[in-house]
């Protein structure tokens, strides 16, 4: 089956905002003398409502008081500063540029809100590459439901059978697979600890391990 469109997740797939977020929270936990582990953090990756692990609620429950407004403000500033220092992940720009050169359509499906997604696409000068961008604000059922990927494929006017999705989290992988889209898993330092769903087309250590030519030839 031909590949006519690529649909990317954002956080953890194009930029490693998870590392940035974890590092910011780690400092807060350390100031309170509380341990924050990667295994705890992994429970929240990819989910919209943080039901599995909310770092603020967990810390406040342990220390027995709410975090101050000043501390939360400093946390957000630290997080944004960390994100700004994160480069586009290896292999991403080459895949995007090659796809654009060969007239493949590009979409985005992110469980983050639209303001966040649009900010980072513009920050990294990527917004003009994507013909369709879907976020949690655009669907009733976010990932792991397939709605976001189905909508992105429909927006691109490409059958799901001709799309390929790139995802770092099992939540996103399940969404793409459920939509009938061939899915490439690129787990990172945190999502590699999580069980991945059945039905993945390929699992990579980095998108740099998959050339555009191989994508067209073998998918």
Cα torsion 46, 52, 53, 57: sign: positive
Catalytic residue among 11, 138, 147, 168: 11
What does 50-102 look like in DSSP terms, one character per residue? --S--HHHHHHHHHTSPPPHHHHHHHHHHHHHHHHTPPBPTTHHHHHHHHHHT
Alpha helices, DSSP H only, in 124-187? 147-156, 170-178
User: Can you say how many angstroms the Cα of residue 6 is from the centroid of all Cα atoms in its chain?
Assistant: 14
The residues near 42 (Cβ < 8 Å, ≥ 6 apart) are 190, 191, 193, 194
Is residue 5 within 8 Å of 104, Cβ to Cβ? Answer: yes
8 strand-pairing partners:
108, 166
DSSP code of residue 19: H
Could you tell me the two tokens for 198?
């059945």
Catalytic residue among 9, 16, 147, 168: 9
Is residue 201 within 8 Å of 176, Cβ to Cβ? Answer: no
Residue 113 is a catalytic residue:
no
Query: What's the Rg (C-alpha) of the chain?
Result: 18
Residue 137 is a catalytic residue:
no
Task: Give the residue numbers annotated as catalytic, written as ranges.
Answer: 9, 11
């Amino acid at each position: 089956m031909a590949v006519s469109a690529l649909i990317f997740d954002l956080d953890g797939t194009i930029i490693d905002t998870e590392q940035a977020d974890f590092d910011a929270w780690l400092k807060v936990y350390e100031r309170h003398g509380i341990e924050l582990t990667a295994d705890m953090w992994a429970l929240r990756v990819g989910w919209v409502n943080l039901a599995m692990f909310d770092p603020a609620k967990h810390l406040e429950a342990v220390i027995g008081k709410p975090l101050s407004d000043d501390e939360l403000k400093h946390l957000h500033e630290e997080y944004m500063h960390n994100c700004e220092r994160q480069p586009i992940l290896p292999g991403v720009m080459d895949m995007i540029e090659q796809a654009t050169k060969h007239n493949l359509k590009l979409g985005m499906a992110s469980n983050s809100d639209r303001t966040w997604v649009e900010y980072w696409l513009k920050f990294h000068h990527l917004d003009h590459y994507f013909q369709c961008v879907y976020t949690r604000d655009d669907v009733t059922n976010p990932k792991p439901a397939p709605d976001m990927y189905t909508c992105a494929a429909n927006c691109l006017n490409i059958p799901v059978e001709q799309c390929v999705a790139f995802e770092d989290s099992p939540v996103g992988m399940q969404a793409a697979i459920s939509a009938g889209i061939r899915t490439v898993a690129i787990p990172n330092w945190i999502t590699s600890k999580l069980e991945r769903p059945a039905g993945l087309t390929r699992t990579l250590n980095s998108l740099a391990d998959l050339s555009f030519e191989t994508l067209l030839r073998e998918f």
